[in-house]
């Protein structure tokens, strides 16, 4: 499949002024300024194919937003090359802008004092969207994200969740080939987050829109993005499927067995007993080749089990484990 984004050996370096203490230090900074070189992105390479949904993840200061800005043409790489839809973004910003959609969680594209519907209409005129396509897209997106109750309300009167839903719809009205999302669920309540996640997963699946998502909310990644790119200290440290990351780290599953009568201490070779609450026994299954059937077979038929709960490791645990072990080589 054709790659719609190609990032090759990209670095972005900033010159940061040095600060010196005291009045003389301030005078020195003014008269003979000195600078330190700060690398926001360091020799990063990856490719993204048409229709992929990719999570771009990393701690604060890892270079996530800087990379998004280079891919959208806002920033120019210090070295290396970025190609988006066959174009160099910062050289052909107008053309790229017509073919992508962008949502920054803390920056609004909506007109603050106008009704949401008027902002959408202005967007239609700016992008010269055919009336029939605009009407169809607006109807479909408004239905999926339940925008109808506040389309005629001024943007400044919307809640954060309502505004973010409107921002995402506005970014999609012109049928972009790629949608860049920078912290789209930041500050939203649980219900609003769930609505946004389901919507993005659906437009990716139904319309084949390529999605690149940066977020600190790991549930966003788990719901929307099968592929994960992780950066740390400006460098790429993992690129692959979340399942492969889980396998590489050997994240353990949690198993709880509830018995009708207390069988007493019940150590197993297939699972590690972590807590014994009488009727409830809590285990950790550390090996991928051990199934629930293997554990239950070892428990044996003589002990009556009332309930079973098996929990897969969630993404928070996987990512936390990765960063705790980031000095250890992980397959990329």
Structural domain boundaries in the chain? 49-246, 252-312
Q: Which stretches within 63-159 are classed as H helix?
A: 64-71, 93-99, 116-127, 131-145
pLDDT computed for residue 328 by the predictor:
54
**Cα distance between residue 91 and residue 102, in whole Å:** 18
Residue 331 above 50 pLDDT? no
Residue 10's Cβ-count burial label (10 Å; 0-12, 13-18, 19+) is: buried
Average pLDDT over residues 33-62: 89
Q: Under 8 Å CB-to-CB from 306, ≥6 apart: which residues?
A: 258, 259, 260, 279
Distance separating alpha carbons of residues 302 and 80, to the nearest angstrom: 65
Lowest mean pLDDT among 76-90, 156-170, 246-260, 267-281: 246-260
Quote the mean pLDDT of the chain: 87
Q: State residue 185's pLDDT score.
A: 84
Distance CA 283, CA 290 (A): 13
Q: What percent of the chain has pLDDT over 90?
A: 50
pLDDT category at 251 given cuts 50, 70, 90 is low
Q: 130: pLDDT confidence band, cut at 50, 70 and 90?
A: very high
- 106-115: average pLDDT: 85
Q: Is 258's pLDDT higher than 80?
A: yes
Provide the pLDDT for residue 99: 95
Task: List the structure tokens of 45.
Answer: 């390479």
Tokens of 249: 């780290």
pLDDT at 217 (0 to 100)? 80
pLDDT band with cut points at 50, 70 and 90 for residue 19 = confident
Q: What is the pLDDT of residue 33?
A: 74
The answer, yes or no, to whether residue 30 has pLDDT greater than 80, is no
Least confident range from 125-129, 243-247, 278-282: namely 243-247
- Tens digit of pLDDT for each residue in 133-185? 999 999 999 998 889 899 999 999 988 888 889 999 999 999 999 999 988 88
* Superfamily of domain 49-246 in the CATH hierarchy: P-loop containing nucleotide triphosphate hydrolases (3.40.50.300)
Please give the average per-residue pLDDT across 322-331, as a whole number.
Answer: 61
Residue 332, pLDDT score: 45
Q: What is residue 25's predicted lDDT score, i.e. its pLDDT?
A: 67
Q: Which residues pair with 3 in a beta bridge?
A: 49
Strand, helix or coil for residue 273: strand
63-96 confidence digits (pLDDT tens): 888 999 999 999 999 999 999 999 999 999 999 9
């Amino acid at each position: 499949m054709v790659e719609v984004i190609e990032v090759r050996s990209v670095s972005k370096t900033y010159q940061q002024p040095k600060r010196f203490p005291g009045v003389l230090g301030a005078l020195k900074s003014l008269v003979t300024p000195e600078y330190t070189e700060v690398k926001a992105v360091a020799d990063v390479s990856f490719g993204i194919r048409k229709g992929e949904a990719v999570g771009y993840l990393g701690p604060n200061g890892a270079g996530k937003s800087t990379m998004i800005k280079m891919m959208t043409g806002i920033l120019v790489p210090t070295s290396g090359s970025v190609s988006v839809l066959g174009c160099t973004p910062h050289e052909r910003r107008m053309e790229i802008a017509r073919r992508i959609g962008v949502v920054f969680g803390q920056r609004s594209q909506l007109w603050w004092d106008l009704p949401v519907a008027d902002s959408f209409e202005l967007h239609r005129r700016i992008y010269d969207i055919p009336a029939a396509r605009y009407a169809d897209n607006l109807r479909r997106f408004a239905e999926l994200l339940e925008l109808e109750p506040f389309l005629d309300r001024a943007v400044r009167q919307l809640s954060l969740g309502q505004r973010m839903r409107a921002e995402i719809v506005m970014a999609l009205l012109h049928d972009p080939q790629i949608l860049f999302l920078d912290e789209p669920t930041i500050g939203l309540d649980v219900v609003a987050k769930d609505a946004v996640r389901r919507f993005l997963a659906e437009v990716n699946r139904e319309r084949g829109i390529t999605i690149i998502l940066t977020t600190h909310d790991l549930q966003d990644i788990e719901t929307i993005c099968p592929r994960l790119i992780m950066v740390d200290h400006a460098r790429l440290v993992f690129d692959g499927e979340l399942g492969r990351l889980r396998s590489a780290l050997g994240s353990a599953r949690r198993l709880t067995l509830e018995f009708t009568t207390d069988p007493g201490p019940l150590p197993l070779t297939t699972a590690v007993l972590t807590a014994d609450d009488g009727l409830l026994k809590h285990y950790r299954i550390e090996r991928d080749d051990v199934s629930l059937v293997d554990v239950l077979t070892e428990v044996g038929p003589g002990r009556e089990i009332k309930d079973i709960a098996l929990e897969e490791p969630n993404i928070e645990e996987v990512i936390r484990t990765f960063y705790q072990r980031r000095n250890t080589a992980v397959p990329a």
